[in-house]
Amino acid sequence: MRLKLLASAVPLAIAASLAVGSLAACAPHRNDYYDAGYNDHHRWDSHEAALYRQWEINQHMQHVEFDRRQATEQQAYWNWRHNHPGM
C-alpha cells in the first residue's frame, strides 16, 4: 500500500517542482527600485525598460537584465537617467 502511495506521489512532486521552476523563470522585474545615490524611487515599467535598453546601447554594453547587473552598473544607469529626465 505504501509503495503505491509513494509511486503516485513521485510524479506529482516532479510536476510541482517543474511548475514552480517555470514560474520563477518568467518572473517580471520588480516594480520599484530605490536609488541610493539620489535617495529616490523609480518605477520600473515598459518605458523604463526601453530607456534602460537605450542606455545599454549608448554604453556599448551587451544586454543584461537590470536585476543581474552589478550595483555599480545599476547606479551608473540611475545617474544617466537623472541626467536625462525628459526621456
Q: What is the pLDDT of residue 84?
A: 86
- Would you say 77 and 69 are in contact if contact means Cβ atoms under 8 Å apart? yes
Is pLDDT above 50 for 48? yes
- Would you say 55 and 48 are in contact if contact means Cβ atoms under 8 Å apart? no
- What nine digits make up the cell of 25? 523563470
Measured in whole angstroms, the distance separating CA 61 from the mean position of its chain's CA atoms is: 17
- 19 versus 86: the higher-pLDDT residue is 86
Quickly state the pLDDT bin for 44 (edges 50, 70, 90): very high
Domain positions in the chain are: 32-83
Q: Where are the alpha helices (DSSP H) in the chain?
A: 2-25, 46-58, 71-83
Of 33, 34, 57, 54, give the one whose Cα is nearest residue 45. 33
Please state the φ and ψ torsions of residue 34, each to the nearest 5 degrees: -95, 125
